[in-house]
Structure 1
């Protein structure tokens, strides 16, 4: 789950900032602006928070992530790039706390203290998990960065929540769980691929109450002109990533009973395809996987990627369900 904070406003990518500015005149006060060019670690913008008054309590100013459902057995790592604005009169270091909060009770499950300086650095809370004893309960949580200890200008950018197991069941018609559909547009609508799709479709469920269905009614002959795209994720050195999704063709008159489909891992910036897998699918459910994908050897810097399933080669109705991205340590 990735957030670039490039959209201008008081919130961006479902992230927000909370400042305890009500009540006592001594409470924290500040201004918030997402999409600020000066606050960009990379890209067009980032988050700028200017604290003009501080009560010395770190949680009186918080960067708050979207709510997420903690899955039993999954381990989550939250990271965000941060720094102080370098200028005369600014502190050269400010203490912050990165924590995982229960969204309902505000109980802190795990936390980590860090210092923010005038140099960009990544603040991370690794290996956060659903508490033991709550396996049978639904647990919603938020990652928060508490930074309200001092008057400063704070910059934040490129927040990620990376579960070691990232799953999507496509059961809700109102949420795609970070997955997107891409249809290439050439500017000539009559020549472009045409597709209708829906999340939460009952007929597309491999298990549970719904799945993702896509009906391709016109093709260009190029399969990648219609894509189901995973959330962006950062490839970490020393990790192997596997993407799997259940898929079948919808049975019915005029439908193919078999077709070839491609899944691959593609760099989000330079569009290089790092690994691909071709597979024949039928009207029977089967799992399509891209196994053991990794960051290219010797490639430095931050590498953002997406897993993609391309289906623009033939007129068909496709059903997808239960997508999962897993990560494991690579052997030395």
Structure 2
């Protein structure tokens, strides 16, 4: 693996909310709980899991779009969480995000040209005619005509708006793109086009990616390494080819088995993942997956499994079956 550009260690994010009628009480939602991973230069790293597992919160916390409660995030050795002012502004040039909903991430009152020029102006990269020229070039790079500069977001389809979101992320010449479910809101045919665009940009610009998705087929195609999240924790990590073909954690195996295979010869009834994901406000004791695990043992309910590193650069797993 290449030298890490991003190192995340022990990242944690809890939210405190109130619930109950008529008597109100505070509840702590453990959205992200002690996760660690690295991303190498030019590498695509995937975060995968069911909805509500904390993968989007983790992505936003490392960018400080929400402030994490604990842990460290380092960009090429520089502490992201300790950065302030001009230092933080410079770091944010290096790391940009593409959001899931391409419509709500754009200001409906701004033309596309203004939306693309604004980051350049904020980071003192270009203004005026030069910013417009760069914006037009970016639109062409993502497959849109320069005439789109003077139009508004509502005049575009969902796929076109996502291309605009990608162009906006590229305006400040980042080295890492956090792609938060970037194709899940798009039609299947458009998904393929956007994924091909992201892959081409990755190769041409040498971009690293943190790719957040619940779709294993997308992760399998796009990512070099993948981490499987469950209830705020990473339960397995390793090369995508190994994790998605020979998963070691029972939850990763269940996700793999429930993922459709684009081969008519292998069609069959997809297994249903048993049970429902527990509330992050009231996680079960011990291994968080044990209430749904078909291989659960008595001590799974009493102790949290330790992280076990696998030999040969194959990642690791947090499971009592392999501890």
Q: Same fold (TM over 0.5)?
A: no
Computing the radius of gyration over CA atoms, which structure comes out larger, 1 or 2?
1
Give the number of the structure whose residues are more often helix, by fraction: 2
- For CA contacts below 8 A with separation 6 or more, give which structure has more relative contact order: 2
